[in-house]
Amino acid sequence: MISPATGLRWLAVFALLAATAHAADVRVAVVSLAGDARYAPKRMEQRYPGQPQGRPVDGARVAVAESRFALEAAGQALRLDAQEASSEAEVGPMVAALARQGTRFILLDLPAPAVRLAARAVKPGEALLFNVSADDDELRGTGCAPHLLHTLPSRRMQADALMQYLALRKWRRALLLSGPSPEDAAQRAVLTQAARRFGIAWSAQRAFKLSNDPRERGLGNLGLLTAGVDYDVVVVADADGEFARGVPYATQLPRPVVGASGLTAQAWHWAWERNGGPQLSRRFIKAAGRPMTGYDWAAWVAVKAIAESVARQPKGGFAGQAEALVSEAVVVDGFKGPPLSFRRWDGQLRQPVLLAHPDGVVGVAPVEGVLHPKNNLDTLGADAADTACRPGKIWGDAQAMTTTLIHAWRALRAVAGRELHKFFRQPGRLCSSLVRPLLWLLVFAAGFQNALGVAIVPPYDTYVEYKVFVTPGLLGMIALFNGMQSSLAMVYDREMGVMRLLLTAPLPRAWLLACKLAAGTLLSLLQMVAFLLVATAFDVTFAPACLPGALAVMVLAALMLGALGLLLSVHVRQLENFAGTMNFVIFPMFFISSALYPLWKLEESGATVVYQLARFNPFTHAVEAIRFALYGQAAPVSLVVLAGCTAVFFALALLGYDPQRGMARRVRQAGGPA
């Protein structure tokens, strides 16, 4: 007699078989290349860090098995088909044949040239391709395709991950060792780009070469390559891995090694112990008989993404499932923490990158403190604003432009909002900013009223009181002191680390500094308008029709003085040095100008040197431009000087806030090479 429990078990088995019988097959193919040098047995025997130890198809098989039950509930099933091309020339026809036979999802375990051939063999809408083993940035840049997605982290993502970690550990001076191959050059380029982005300076760049030629033995001698220079860390760019494996513990100075050996950036590591990582690693070892690598994980997560899109839209057909993948509607649990999705601008899967050595994982990028306005994972690799993939080719120029503008607006709103919040959180700050010009207006203007008469010279058409004459100078004073206050705030933010976080945001550095400049200009304008309103109580008035033009000129003056503040903040290394800036910059600019007395008075008194200095003082032109604008007149020369000085000061500040330049200066100060 069959027990009830046994009967229920048999019933479940029959139900499962019935569901399987009616499940619709979704074909997934894995295309690889026979004789692929990356999987040569002798190469895999070396077990170089971060390089494959077997074919990624093993990861795809594990993902198919894991996804079976979820897909059966949706009446779907994945059928995996492994294909191997005998040569690169066969790749295109093979992929095209698979698409004609109804295989819509194709994983490409191919080197970059073969991936390009596969992408050309099918059109968007015929199949969706997943690059699971080529990390070339060109495939995600100028060689991108609308139907090509990437699950393996790009070289740039790996480089960004390493440099973020070096910045976190404050290892700012690095010795770069790179090999002679084109792949080594590509790695060197992305490492240099990432180092510049995150403020890491090369103490030196040296080329290595493994050679049996006695004349070239020095190029492989680590004692020579790592001597004669000071550094915090050694970075190795070695695509082959043979040289890199001998670098740890062999450097002239006892320093950590990162890059192709030592600490490496990987998509997966067998020792990852969070977010269900051990369970995935055990399942893979059981299925494949070896540890899981980043290449295996890339194939695994590609199949998981396919399964997720099919389960979400079982009746949507291939078009709906593919659109869900590329539109960021589908997110995948990659067992690395945050949900993963494909970037719209280049098809790259956004994901954390593990920072590991052969025996364990020491960190995950993005590291703590590196922020992005939308998704912190987008601090790794090319962001929408700087991708080389033509957005119009994939997702539409208008949409990409909209995304860029949204990010730029968010940055401006965040930076300006922070400055305004700080300003209005301190009510006394507005009052204190008005005390200085009001003292000049009430006390000094009264004392100088008779001592300094003002003749009828442009822009005046009648005699004016001294307090009226001095008001434009006091407006300039507000902008000048607020620009210096912004400079002080920049120095403080730099010491607290806020500036580094800001400048590592994935937006052009010029725009980020422009946001700081715009925030300071807005504060200056608010204070100048407040002063004008208060001045009306003391019979200092101007024609209302002239005020809009005057406000525009005041904005230009505030921009120029704010840009000067940005430039000064580059050279003021500590808060304690700000008093010297006050003495040697602010006061000379203010007093040697036309803010307090007409220029013709200086010339008339015989102070020729002071007169000439005042003529060439940018602050004089700021005051004169405001003075003329308050009377509805233009001062063309002063306006040109203001615009030119703003551009020059901002450009120099932008150069000064280049992290690579700043770190190089510190390397020289520490005794390293120029």
What does the pLDDT average to over 367-376? 83
Q: For position 17, what pLDDT does the model report?
A: 45
Residue whose C-alpha is closest to residue 483's, from 522, 434, 509: 522
Of 301, 381, 347, nearest to 139 by C-alpha is: 347
d(CA 205, CA 223): 15
**Alpha-carbon radius of gyration of the chain:** 33
Average pLDDT over residues 170-176: 94
Of 200, 195, 157, which Cα lies nearest the Cα of 353? 157
Q: What is the CB neighbour count within 10 angstroms for residue 325?
A: 24
The pLDDT confidence band at residue 137, using thresholds 50, 70 and 90, is very high
- DSSP string for 269-289: -TT--STTHHHHHHHHHHHHS
Beta bridge pairs of residue 84: 32
pLDDT digits (tens, 9 = 90+) for 553-573: 999 999 999 888 888 877 776
Once rounded to an integer, what is the mean pLDDT over residues 15-32? 68
pLDDT of residue 483: 83
What amino acid is encoded at 556 in this protein? L
Residue type, 440: W
Q: 289: number of CA atoms within 13 Å, CB side?
A: 2
Q: Reply yes or no on whether the pLDDT at 413 is more than 80.
A: no
CA distance 7 to 5: 5
Query: Measured in Å, how far apart are the chain's first and last C-alpha atoms?
Result: 90
Read off the pLDDT band of 372 (50, 70, 90). confident
Q: What count of other Cβ atoms lies within 10 Å of the Cβ of residue 449?
A: 12
Side-chain half-sphere CA neighbours of 354 within 13 A: 28
Give the Cβ contact number of residue 93 at 10 Å: 12
Q: Distance (Å, rounded) from C-alpha 125 to C-alpha 431? A: 64
| Tokens linked to 398 | 């208008």
Which pLDDT does position 4 carry in this prediction? 53
Contacts with 276 (C-beta within 8 Å, 6 or more apart), sequence order: 335
- Find out whether 128 and 309 touch, Cβ atoms under 8 Å: no
Question: Quick check: pTM over 0.75?
Answer: no
Confidence check: pLDDT of 542 > 90: no
**Residue 360 backbone phi and psi in degrees, to 5:** 180, 175
> What was the pLDDT predicted at 369?
80
Dihedral Cα 47, 48, 51, 57, nearest 10 deg: -10
Residues across the chain: 674
| CA–CA distance, 208 with 168 (Å, rounded to integer) | 28
pLDDT digits (tens, 9 = 90+) for 186-228: 999 999 999 998 889 999 999 999 887 777 877 889 999 999 9
For residue 611, is pLDDT > 90? no
d(CA 572, CA 593): 24
Map tokens 């920072």 to a residue. 355
Q: Is the pLDDT of residue 398 over 50?
A: no
- Residue 663 and residue 172 in contact, taking contact as beta carbons nearer than 8 Å: yes
Confidence check: pLDDT of 535 > 90: no
Question: Could you write out the DSSP letters of every residue in 441-498?
Answer: IIIIHHHHTTTS---S-TT-SS---HHHHHHHHHHHHHHHHHHHHHHHHHHHHHHHTH
Residue type, 207: A
| Percent of the chain whose pLDDT exceeds 90 | 47
Q: Any bridge partners for residue 264, and if so which?
A: 356
pLDDT of residue 661: 44
**How far is residue 258's CA from residue 200's CA, in Å, rounded to a whole number?**
13
> Tell me, what's the pLDDT at 450?
59
- Mean pLDDT on 389-396: 53
User: Does residue 74 carry a pLDDT above 90?
Assistant: no
Q: Is residue 465 scored above 70 in pLDDT?
A: yes
What is the SS3 string spanning 84-97?
EECCHHHHHHHHHH
DSSP per residue, 216-281:
GGGGG-HHHHT-SS--SEEEEE-SS-TTGGG-TT-SSS---EEESSSBEEES--TT--STTHHHHH
pLDDT score of 402 more than 80: no
What pLDDT sits at residue 397? 45
Greatest distance between any 2 Cα atoms in the chain: 124
Once rounded to an integer, what is the mean pLDDT over residues 97-125?
Answer: 94
Q: Which domains does the chain have, with CATH numbers?
A: 19-153+270-351 (3.40.50.2300), 156-266 (3.40.50.2300), 427-657 (no CATH)
Structure tokens at 335: 């067992």
Angle 520-641-461 (CA atoms, 0-180°, nearest 5)?
A: 100
**pLDDT attached to residue 132:** 97
User: Does position 671 have pLDDT exceeding 70, yes or no?
Assistant: no
